[in-house]
């Protein structure tokens, strides 16, 4: 079994924020793979389904970003999952918009949601970093991530989310390099 975690902030006011692209990715995966409905569980919204050859749980923590690790820890303990069975989808300032990088382990890179998960389950979970670009000035970062995607961003965001959902089976089956290659080919703006 796998746990697919989308990071974001709960509530409709945050739904289209750049910081919520992790929620968007998990929603896209659930829709594409016919997951059941989300229900309240583990301090978050949880849905069940299959991705590739694996049974999977999708979790969107209802805690705010800085406390995401609490929900992830509850789900991993209950289902007796190891960190290597957890894939966390989140926004990455240091990647150009539309680029995705996947790796197991590493640092939090200043991302408070990832920092919280590390504090609760350790560092060896999978990180699916979704590039949102950088505003260019460190002082503008908070306003940038806590603001809706611009309409122009939809030309790369929407095809990327569709590609992540379509190719999620590769991630689930351990073909990480192939997943990233397929995204590079599929996620071209329309």
CA 187 distance to own-chain centroid: 16
Q: Which residues pair with 40 in a beta bridge?
A: 45
User: How far apart, in whole angstroms, are the C-alpha atoms of residue 143 and residue 163?
Assistant: 28
User: How far apart, in whole angstroms, are the C-alpha atoms of residue 134 and residue 131?
Assistant: 9
* Helix residue ranges per DSSP H, 65-153: 68-78, 112-121, 141-145
User: How far apart, in whole angstroms, are the C-alpha atoms of residue 81 and residue 185?
Assistant: 32
CA 185 distance to own-chain centroid: 20
- Please indicate whether residue 120 is annotated as part of the active site: no
Q: Which of 17, 19, 33, 111 is catalytic?
A: 19
> How many residues comprise the chain?
190
Annotated catalytic residues are 19
């Amino acid at each position: 079994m796998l746990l697919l975690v989308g990071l974001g902030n709960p509530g409709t006011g945050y739904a289209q924020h750049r910081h919520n692209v992790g929620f968007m990715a998990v929603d896209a995966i659930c829709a594409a793979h016919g997951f059941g409905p989300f229900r309240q569980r583990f301090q978050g919204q949880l849905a069940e389904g299959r991705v590739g050859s694996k049974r999977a749980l999708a979790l969107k923590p209802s805690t705010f970003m800085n406390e995401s690790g609490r929900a992830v820890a509850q789900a991993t303990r209950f289902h007796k999952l190891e960190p290597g069975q957890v894939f966390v989808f989140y926004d990455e300032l240091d990647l150009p918009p539309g680029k995705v990088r996947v790796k197991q382990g590493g640092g939090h890179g200043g991302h408070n949601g990832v920092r919280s998960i590390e504090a609760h389950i350790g560092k060896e979970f999978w990180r699916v970093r979704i590039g949102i670009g950088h505003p260019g000035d460190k002082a503008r970062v908070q306003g940038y991530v806590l603001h809706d995607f611009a309409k122009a961003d939809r030309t790369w965001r929407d095809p990327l989310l569709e590609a992540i959902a379509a190719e999620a089976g590769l991630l689930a089956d351990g073909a990480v390099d192939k997943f990233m290659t397929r995204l590079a080919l599929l996620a071209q703006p329309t």
